[in-house]
């Protein structure tokens, strides 16, 4: 079964974040056409598909994006979208009318100079303007913040205050070892344990929603705060676990970025004339290769670079 799918609709981006992992696909092939995107998603519906998250690169750069979104929503699927926010102000009202269930915006800092150094462009005002427009349009909003030592780890409380003002929840994400540069990871990786300790003592742990072992959720100063850790210790073979992702060039992967091999090439199958039932069978086969998150398995994560091993317990 494939309850959720992450669909990259555009591999390019108008920012150049130092930690970008390019969704594990650094040399994408030909982008799927609108027709191909829709056929491939529709073929996953018989596999229990309920949720689709639209991603990039930057998905708002894709031409005809709203036509794609409208059609997917028309099928009764829950559609959310992640964006870097630079163009969100132009889209917020339309997204609200289409009925997106959530818009997640990357925001690592509120400091313009830090933003420029980290993301390679002077666009913080555009991002803040996009988030504000989304709030004003009444879109369910989530801010995604990659926490980095020596960069923004001291900004967490300011970012939570901003999230409160924007009526958004916020998710602090552990820097992934899949980032472009190992040196960057080595210098800036920080465990989320310290922040979790603060949230645990000064906030309230929320039960029920997304309580997988690596994604605890807290209520802190009136804001829902998620922690999202990298899962690197895998006691089961093969790619993990929360669902599948479809790349902009039509290949299927697990949700992790650094190690996963391509599970299927749906674009090639479709272009070779596969019917929808055959595509559904390929989805099913790919789905059988991933494993559901098991909270008991995710007790710690472990990474190793340059002979140094780091382990963080939850």
Beta bridge partners of 167: none
What minimum distance in Å lies between the beta carbon of 56 and ligand SF4? Answer: 5
Cα separation of 282 and 302, whole Å?
A: 32
What minimum distance in Å lies between the beta carbon of 220 and ligand SF4? Answer: 25
Which of residues 15 and 137 has its CB atom nearest to ligand SF4 in the complex?
15
What minimum distance in Å lies between the beta carbon of 255 and ligand SF4? Answer: 16
Closest CA to 137 of 161, 114, 159, 105: 105
How would you list the strands of the sheet with 51-55, edge to edge? 204-205, 217-220, 223-228, 169-174, 141-147, 102-106, 78-83, 51-55, 4-8, 244-246, 251-253, 264-265
What minimum distance in Å lies between the beta carbon of 275 and ligand SF4? Answer: 34
Which of residues 77 and 128 has its CB atom nearest to ligand SF4 in the complex?
128
- 151 neighbors 118 (Cβ within 8 angstroms): yes
Which of residues 20 and 79 has its CB atom nearest to ligand SF4 in the complex?
20
Which of residues 56 and 254 has its CB atom nearest to ligand SF4 in the complex?
56
Beta bridge partners of 78: 51
Residues forming the site for ligand SF4 (CB under 6 A): 13, 15-17, 20, 56-58, 84, 106
Which of residues 16 and 90 has its CB atom nearest to ligand SF4 in the complex?
16
- 84 neighbors 13 (Cβ within 8 angstroms): yes
Buried b (16+ CB within 10 A) or exposed e, 73-103: beeebbbbbbbbbbbbbebbeebbebebebb
Which of residues 148 and 298 has its CB atom nearest to ligand SF4 in the complex?
148
What minimum distance in Å lies between the beta carbon of 241 and ligand SF4? Answer: 22
Beta bridge partners of 223: 220
What minimum distance in Å lies between the beta carbon of 103 and ligand SF4? Answer: 14
């Amino acid at each position: 079964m494939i309850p959720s799918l992450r669909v990259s609709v555009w591999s390019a981006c108008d920012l150049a974040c130092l930690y970008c992992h390019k969704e594990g696909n650094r040399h994408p092939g030909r982008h799927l056409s609108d027709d191909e995107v829709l056929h491939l998603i529709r073929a996953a519906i018989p596999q229990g598909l309920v949720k689709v998250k639209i991603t990039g690169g930057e998905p708002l750069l894709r031409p005809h994006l709203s036509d794609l979104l409208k059609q997917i929503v028309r099928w009764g699927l829950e559609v959310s979208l992640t964006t870097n926010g630079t163009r969100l102000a132009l889209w917020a009202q339309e997204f609200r009318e289409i009925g997106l269930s959530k818009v997640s915006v990357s925001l690592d800092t509120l400091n313009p100079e830090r933003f420029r150094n980290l993301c390679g462009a002077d666009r913080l005002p555009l991002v803040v303007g996009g988030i504000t427009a989304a709030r004003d349009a009444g879109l369910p909003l989530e801010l995604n913040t990659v926490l980095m030592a020596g960069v923004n780890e001291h900004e967490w409380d300011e970012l939570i205050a901003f999230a409160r003002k924007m009526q958004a929840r916020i998710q602090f994400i552990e820097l992934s070892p899949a980032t472009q540069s190992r040196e960057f990871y080595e210098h800036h990786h920080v465990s989320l344990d310290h922040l979790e300790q603060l949230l645990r003592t000064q906030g309230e742990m929320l039960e029920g929603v997304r309580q997988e072992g690596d994604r605890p959720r807290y209520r802190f100063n009136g804001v829902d705060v998620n922690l999202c850790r990298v899962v690197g210790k895998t006691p089961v073979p093969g790619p993990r676990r929360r669902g599948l992702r479809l790349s902009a060039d039509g290949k299927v992967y697990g949700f992790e970025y650094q190690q996963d091999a391509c599970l299927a090439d749906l674009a090639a199958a479709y272009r070779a004339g596969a019917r929808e039932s055959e595509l559904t069978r390929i989805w099913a086969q790919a789905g059988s290769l991933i494993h559901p998150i098991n909270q008991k398995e995710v007790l710690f994560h472990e990474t190793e670079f340059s002979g140094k091993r780091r382990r963080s317990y939850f």
